[in-house]
Amino acid sequence: MNNAIKDLLFRLADDELVLGHRNSEWTGLGPILEEDIAFSSIAQDQIGHAVANYTLLHESAAADEPLPDAIAFGRNEKQFFSSQFTELPIGDYAFSLIRHFLFDHAEMLRYELLTASSFAPLAALARKIKGELKYHVLHADLWVSKLGQGTEESRARMQTALNEAWPYALGMFEPSDYEAELVTNGIFSGEEGLQESWLEVVAPIIEKAGLTIPQASEPKYGGRHGYHTEHLQPLLDEMTEVYRLDPAAIW
C-alpha cells in the first residue's frame, strides 16, 4: 500500500482510538445518567471506527501491518499519529463536551470528503461511518447550546473549555507530509479546505450558544508526526496494561 494512504489511515484510526479511550472514561461517572449513557455510546462508535480503519490498514497492506489489536496495543507514543487534542484528559464535563463538539464536526466533514476518495475501500467505509457521526453532531450541538445558555456557571465553564480546547482543535488539521500526493491522487482533498469548512459550521453554533471563539490561537501541531503531550504515553500504558502481560495470549 502506498505510504500516503497508510499515513492517512493511521491518523484517522489513532484519533478515534485515543478519543474513544478518553470518552469511555465517563462511563459510570457522567453528570446525569442520560449523558453517562451518551458518552459510552460515542466511545463505542469511536473505538469501532478505529477497528474499521486498523482492519483496512491490515487488509490492504497485509505484508506490513499486523491485526488491529497488535496495531492498537503494540506501539509507543512516537508511533501514534493522533492529534494532541484527542489525548488531553477528560477534564470537567464542559471540556469533554466542547472537545466532542469540535472533534465530531471535523470528523463529520472529513468522512464526508472521504466518501469521494479514489481509494475505494475507504470511500465505502466513510459512507458507513458518516451515518453514525450524524448523531454525534446532533448530540453535541444540543448540549453546547443548552450549557452555553444555562447558568452563569455553565456558560463560564463552557467558555473556559472552549479557550483551552481551541488551539488543540486547530491542531487536528495539521497537514501530513503526504498532503500533495493525497490531493493529486484524489484520495483526500486536504486539511486546509477541511479546516475552512469546519470553521464555517462550528462558528455560528458557538456564537448562538453565547460563546466566543478565542482570537489569535496558534494551532498545537505535532501529533500527526508522533510528537505528543505528556498525556499520551500514560494513556497507552494504561490501555496496554493487561495486553502486555502476554501479547501472544488470546484474551
Partner 1 sequence: MYGNAYIEPDSELAAKMAASREEDPEKLAEFEARIARGEKIEPDDWMPAEYRRQLLRMIEQHAHSEIIGALPEGTWITRAPTLRRKLALIAKVQDEVGHGHLLYSAAETLGKSREAMINDLISGKSKYSNIFNYPAKTWADIAVIGFLVDAGAIVNQLANAKGSYGPYCRALERICYEESFHLKQGYDAFVALAVGTPVQREMLQDALNRWWFPPMMHFFGPPDTISVHTEKLMRWKVKMASNEEMRQDFIEQYVPKIWELGMTLPDPALRKDEATGVWEYTQPDWDEFFRVINGDGLCNKERLAVRRYAEENGRWVREALMNPIQKRMVPYA
Distance from C-alpha of 160 to C-alpha of 215, rounded to nearest angstrom: 13
Residue 7 in grid coordinates: 499515513
CB atoms within 10 A of CB 71: 23
Length, in residues, of the chain: 251
**Helix (H), strand (E) at residue 52:** helix 33-60
Looking only at residues 199 through 228 of this chain, which bind partner 1 when binding is defined by CB under 8 A? Answer: 210
Per-residue binding string, partner 1, 76-95, x by CB under 8 A, is: ----------------xx--
| Residue whose grid cell is 503526504 | 178
Closest separation in Å from C-beta 61 to partner 1? 18
25 binds partner 1 per the rule CB under 8 A? yes
56 binds partner 1 per the rule CB under 8 A? no
Task: Give the binding range for partner 1 (CB under 8 A) out of 34-42, 57-65, 98-106, 197-205.
Answer: 34-42
Closest separation in Å from C-beta 25 to partner 1? 6
102 binds partner 1 per the rule CB under 8 A? no
| Residue whose grid cell is 487536528 | 172
Per-residue binding string, partner 1, 113-152, x by CB under 8 A, is: ---------------------------------xx-xxxx
Inter-CA distances, 105 with 99, 121, 130, 134, Å = 10, 23, 11, 9
184 binds partner 1 per the rule CB under 8 A? no
Closest separation in Å from C-beta 4 to partner 1? 25
The three-state DSSP-derived secondary structure of 141-156 is HHHHHHHHCCCHHHHH
29 binds partner 1 per the rule CB under 8 A? yes
179 binds partner 1 per the rule CB under 8 A? no
As a whole number of Å, the CA-based R_g of the chain is 18
Residue 188 in grid coordinates: 483526500
| Residue whose grid cell is 497488535 | 70
Binding site for partner 1 (CB under 8 A): 21, 24-25, 27-37, 40-41, 43-44, 47-48, 50-51, 54, 68-69, 72-73, 92-93, 146-147, 149-155, 157, 210, 238-239, 241-243, 245-246, 249-251
